[in-house]
Amino acid sequence: MQLEHPYLSRMPSRDEEQRALELHARATVVDTCGAIPPGSGGSLDESIALLRLGGVDCVGMTLSAEEHDQRAAMDQIIFWNRNIRKHSEDLVKATCADDIRQAKEDGRIAVYYLFQNAKPFGDDPGNVELFKDMGVVSSAITYNKRNFLGDGCAEPEDSGISTIGREMIAEMNRVGMLVDLSHGGKRTQLTAAQASISAPYFSHNNCYSVFGNRRNATDQTMQVVADKGGMMSTMPLEINHDPEATVANMVDHLMHTLDIFGPNGAGICTDFPKGRRSVYETAYIDQEGYLNIQYDGTLYVKRMKWEGPGCLQTPPWYPYAEGVKSYEGLPNITRELVLRGVEDSTIVAALGENFIDLMSRVVG
């Protein structure tokens, strides 16, 4: 059927549009895995303007993924501490749930730090507390490949978490750091979720039963996370086989998340660290097949082996859903939820309150 709107399942009525705009403005909108990439001269002004256009109140800032070891992760903390201080009229570093609520009240955007890979912890659980004291509130077990803790989603063996992984998760539980299952292999996600005493979560993931690729989470693991009081934030990537997937297709995953987790377990994210123009406009694939990205505006890194679904061979490198290609389009998620008949309280919860509640329970 031909859609009346290029991004949504149908064109909203005037009342639906008004309702969506009011809900988005009222909500505390949290992108649980996003970015504020620097522009020319290291300025964040352009990114902050886009965040405000999208009504974003809080961003989970990725400081470490596949490419960062302990020293590089510390450098990122220094870099972003300095940037947030420089832009303190608009940004504030958040290390607890109340910081996010206060930022909303003050008209500023909260930024909390997360790792997409526990690689900076090495094989010493003592490093968890070290980075927690530096302001890191969330860490994934692993990125696409294997580390000391477990196997990523690109590992063919998918052996689950290791003994060190269990010790590291126990330490994360002790100090109050969120255990993120994103990017883990299927067994790694499941065994990590089972091992965590505190509620685990997915900072950026989608549903395997909706689109069966290596990145997405199975219903079994999602149910374990739900039973422990965790949540999952769906993203505008890894949606389906269509390179021109839309925000409506993204919300298909969010609706399935609601089916399993209920109204208190769904969230949203963009996974924009890889996809903003200021990041990828100078990217290139080298002769060894690695994508080199100017990740933080200051340096090139070898991002990942260029293979598997969800990747393009030319810019913009990652096919974000039509309608959510930048922060300006984030209200389209709210519009689509309104069109699906989702209750107002559930929409507001999914836009941010569910994550704030999880952070309050686990981190403080």
Q: Write the pLDDT tens digit of every residue in 206-237.
A: 999 999 988 999 999 999 999 999 999 999 99
According to the model, what pLDDT value does residue 249 have?
97
Split at pLDDT 50, 70, 90, the class of 203 is: very high
Check pLDDT > 50 for residue 349: yes
Q: Give the confidence band of 315 by pLDDT, cuts at 50, 70, 90.
A: low
Question: Could you give the percent of the chain with pLDDT greater than 70?
Answer: 85
Q: Is the pLDDT score of 187 beyond 70?
A: yes
pLDDT at 319: 79
CA distances from residue 210 to 3, 114, 213, 217, 266 in whole angstroms, order as listed: 21, 27, 9, 10, 15
Q: Read off the pLDDT band of 275 (50, 70, 90).
A: very low
Mean pLDDT of the chain: 89
3 state SS for the chain: CCCCCCCCCCCCCHHHHHHHHHHHHHCCCEEEEECCCCCHHHCCHHHHHHHHHCCCCEEEEEEECCCCCHHHHHHHHHHHHHHHHHCCCCEEECCCHHHHHHHHHHCCEEEEEEECCCHHHCCCCHHHHHHHHCCEEEEECCCCCCCCCECECCCCCCCCECHHHHHHHHHHHHHCCEEECCCECHHHHHHHHHHCCCCCEECCCCECCCCCCCCCECHHHHHHHHHCCCEEEECCCCCCCCCCCEHHHHHHHHHHHHHHHCCCCEEECCCHHHCCHHHHCCCEECCCCEEEEECCCCCEEEEEECCCCCCCCCCCCCCCCECCCCHHHCHHHHHHHHHCCCCHHHHHHHHHHHHHHHHHHHCC
Lowest mean pLDDT among 59-68, 134-143, 228-237, 257-266: 59-68
Average pLDDT over residues 310-329: 73
Instruction: Indicate the pairing of strand 290-294 with strand 109-115.
Output: unpaired
How far, in Å, CA of 163 to CA of 195, rounded?
11
Q: Mean pLDDT lowest for which of 134-143, 197-206, 315-324? A: 315-324
What is the token pair recorded at 46? 């352009």
In whole angstroms, how far apart are CA 107 and each of 52, 131, 162, 351, 354?
Answer: 10, 28, 43, 17, 20
Give the pairing type, strands 290-294 and 284-285.
Answer: antiparallel
